[in-house]
C-alpha cells in the first residue's frame, strides 16, 4: 500500500496539532502544502500520483490552517492548486478514471464554496463528503488503482 489516494477528504481529524484537536496548530505551513500540491503537476504517471509518497505526505500532513483561515485568498489558492492537480490527473489519466476524478474535483470545488466561518460549514462539508456520488467515485478510483497500479 503506497498511501492514501488523493480523493475527497475522509473527514477524519488529520490536523490534530499534537493531538489537541486544534486544526489551526499543525506543523506544516499551508503555503508549503500548496507548493507541494503544485509540484505534483510535473508527474506524468497517474499511478505514481495516486500511490506515491508525495501524495501520501500531503494527505497525512499535519497542516497549520491558521494562515488560511484568516486569509480567504489562502483558501482560494489551496483549492485552486487542488483543482489544477485534478485537471492534470484528468489529462494524463485513462478514460475509465475520468468520471470519478471529475466527481472528486467537483467535491473539492464544493468544499471551496463553503464559507468556513458559517455556523453550518462543518455539516455542509460532511454532507458533501458523505454523498453517494463522492463515495462511489472514491470506490471506483480505488478499484482502478488496485487493478492498475498495485503489484498483484
Q: State the pLDDT at residue 26.
A: 59
Q: State the pLDDT at residue 22.
A: 47
Q: Calculate mean pLDDT across residues 22-45.
A: 78
pTM of the model: 0.74
Minimal CA–CA distance to 90: which of 139, 58, 137?
A: 137
pLDDT tier for residue 54 given thresholds of 50, 70 and 90: low
Q: 98-112 and 121-130 helices cross at what angle (nearest 10)?
A: 170
For residue 146, pLDDT over 90 is answered with: yes
Find the range with the poorest average confidence among 25-29, 51-55, 69-73, 91-95: 25-29
Contact 27, 20 (CB under 8 A): no
Cα(128)–Cα(92) distance, rounded to whole angstroms? 26
Strands (E), the chain: 28-29, 63-64
Q: State the pLDDT at residue 11.
A: 46
Q: Calculate mean pLDDT across residues 63-90.
A: 79
Q: State the pLDDT at residue 139.
A: 92
Q: Calculate mean pLDDT across residues 51-71.
A: 64
Q: How many CB atoms lie within 10 A of CB 17?
A: 18
Say which residue the cell 467515485 belongs to. 137
pLDDT tier for residue 57 given thresholds of 50, 70 and 90: low
Contact 101, 90 (CB under 8 A): yes
Torsion sign over Cα 131, 133, 137, 143: positive
pLDDT tier for residue 14 given thresholds of 50, 70 and 90: very low
Residues 6+ apart with CB under 8 A from 27: 17, 62, 64
For residue 99, pLDDT over 80 is answered with: yes
Q: End-to-end CA distance of the chain: give it in Å, rounded.
A: 11
Amino acid at each position: 500500500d503506497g498511501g492514501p489516494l488523493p480523493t475527497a477528504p475522509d473527514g477524519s481529524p488529520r490536523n490534530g496539532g499534537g493531538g489537541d484537536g486544534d486544526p489551526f496548530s499543525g506543523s506544516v505551513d499551508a503555503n508549503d502544502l500548496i507548493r507541494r500540491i503544485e509540484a505534483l503537476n510535473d508527474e506524468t504517471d497517474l499511478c505514481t500520483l495516486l500511490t506515491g509518497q508525495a501524495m501520501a505526505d500531503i494527505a497525512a500532513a499535519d497542516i497549520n490552517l491558521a494562515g488560511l483561515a484568516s486569509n480567504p485568498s489562502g483558501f482560494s489558492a489551496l483549492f485552486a492548486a487542488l483543482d489544477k492537480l485534478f485537471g492534470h490527473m484528468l489529462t494524463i489519466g485513462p478514460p475509465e478514471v475520468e468520471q470519478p476524478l471529475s466527481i472528486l474535483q467537483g467535491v473539492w470545488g464544493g468544499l471551496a464554496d463553503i464559507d468556513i466561518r458559517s455556523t453550518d460549514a462543518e455539516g455542509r462539508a460532511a454532507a458533501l463528503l458523505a454523498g453517494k456520488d463522492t463515495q462511489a467515485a472514491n470506490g471506483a478510483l480505488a478499484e482502478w488503482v488496485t487493478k492498475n497500479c498495485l503489484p498483484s
